[in-house]
Amino acid sequence: MNWINLTEEAQLEEINKNSAVKPQVIFKHSTRCSISKTAWNRVEKSDNLPDADYYYLDLITYRDISNKIPEIYGIEHESPQVIVIKDGKASYDADHFDITVDDLSEAIA
């Protein structure tokens, strides 16, 4: 899977714009958390996720971007967290062990 590193706040505007064309997925990952590592591995190892742009956010390194996401999308911050953006809105989010490939696939489709 090709992940786009989310490292600049300006990318959030790009995500909003592109979400009108195809789903955008943000995976907020805490590199210090074993639960986050488990959730990341589930998603990363999947080879059958639908077409979307997939963004990876290291929320420890890019805390400012992580903090901006709840402001923009009106969702509560969690870690780990996966968010699907469609038409400029968070259409789905899941956190911790609720992050599953099946649910994510359904939300993207």
Q: What is the model's pLDDT at position 28? A: 93
Q: What is the model's pLDDT at position 44? A: 86
In angstroms, what is the C-alpha Rg of the chain?
Answer: 12
Please state the CATH superfamily assignment of the domain spanning residues 3-108 in this structure. Answer: Glutaredoxin (3.40.30.10)
Tokens standing for 91? Answer: 């259409």
Closest CA to 1 of 38, 46, 68, 39: 46
Residues 6+ apart with CB under 8 A from 10: none
Instruction: Express each pLDDT in 29-83 by its tens digit.
Output: 998 888 889 888 888 888 889 999 999 999 999 999 999 999 999 998 888 999 9
Give domain limits for the chain. 3-108
Q: What is the model's pLDDT at position 82? A: 96
For residues 75 and 47, give the distance between their C-alpha atoms in angstroms, rounded to a whole number.
28
Q: What is the model's pLDDT at position 26? A: 97
| Mean pLDDT calculated for residue range 12-19 | 96
Q: Is the peptide bond before 50 cis (omega within 30 degrees of 0)?
A: no
